[in-house]
Structure 1
Amino acid sequence: MTENGDKTIKLVIGLDGQSSGEKALEFAKSIAANSASCELIVVYVIEWSPFSFQTAEENAQRHKRREEEISIAMERVVDPAVASLKKAGLTARAIVRHGDVADTIDNIAHSEGASQIIVARSSAGGITSRLFGSSTANLVMNARVPVTVVA
């Protein structure tokens, strides 16, 4: 709540590390600029399957690789996005996780009490996304909070 009793709205912005994420950020900025109190939560998910049978040594290497990937994602994608939001005078923070993109973004939005998820339509696709569905489509169909897809 703000000082005058307005509820702070939370927006989760899913980034994909590509220029399409900039569209989602700009849309979220416009909503936040018109809100009395808004927190922007920038989320980047590194696609990761937990279903892998490995030796103890491979698991140790996998853990190290996961930590390195999180560090790289923060440095290259998420930190610059949060910095640009803060520079615009907005409240923002970042979350980077491993997992299924749609499920992870939905879980974060739900646990954070977000009002909305904002993502950009990905131009990537091909036969795989037509057969199995894209992360964006899966998010739209299964999310527990409203999803806005920016074209």
Structure 2
Amino acid sequence: MPDIYIAAYDGSETSRRTVLFAAERAQLAQAQLHLVYILEWSPYSFLTQEELAERHQRRSQEISRATSSILEPMVQELTAAGHAVSSEVRYGNVAKTINEIVAEKGAKVVYVAKSNDTSFASRLLGSVPSMLIQIATVPVVVVP
């Protein structure tokens, strides 16, 4: 079974460069590339049963939309270029969820784009790449 490389993708130009960089490295190593798109979601709210049902329906719609409009075009492009690639969309804290996927897949490395967020909150709380670097169980490559 080939090694698995994880690349975080959100449809932005910087994450596109990251995916292309990761795809080149995966191909050189004869590894499979697994693209992940994480929808930020917080389970910490008190909702009624009706609100929970609506939220579940919205989540399903968001996952479907992210898959068809963001991940599938990138997967098709990479597959057409001869790369072995798979993908998935999940909800959760971005860094923690990526780390969970790494563990589930037995991935060898994670590729993420450099954060362009220069807000005070990002500097205070940390960006996704910096949080991922702190909790990751495998090497993390941050692509500018």
1:5 alignment counterpart: none
Aligned: 1:40 with 2:40: no
In the TM superposition, 1:2-151 aligns within 5 A as 8-35=2-29, 37-151=30-144
- Mind listing any 5+ residue stretches in structure 1 that lack a counterpart? 2-7
**Per-residue CA shift, 1:109-147, capped at 9, x if unaligned?**
111000000011121230110111111110011111110
* 1:88 Cα deviation from its structure 2 partner: 1.0
The answer to whether the 8 Å contact 1:110/1:145 transfers is: no
The answer to whether the 8 Å contact 1:13/1:118 transfers is: yes
Deviating beyond 6 angstroms after TM superposition, the runs of 4 or more aligned structure 1 residues are none
Change (3 A) 1:125 1:69: farther
1:130 and 1:123 mapped to 2: Cα distance? 11
Q: How many residues are treated as equivalent by the alignment?
A: 144
Q: Which SS does the other structure have where 1:40 is aligned?
A: strand
* 1:33 Cα deviation from its structure 2 partner: 2.6
Q: Which SS does the other structure have where 2:91 is aligned?
A: strand
Q: Which SS does the other structure have where 1:71 is aligned?
A: helix
**Per-residue CA shift, 1:57-104, capped at 9, x if unaligned?**
000000000001101111121111111111111111111000000000
2:104 and 2:23 mapped to 1: Cα distance? 22
Q: Which SS does the other structure have where 2:4 is aligned?
A: strand
- Mind listing any 5+ residue stretches in structure 2 that lack a counterpart? none
Residue type at the aligned position of 2:138: V
The answer to whether the 8 Å contact 1:41/1:94 transfers is: yes
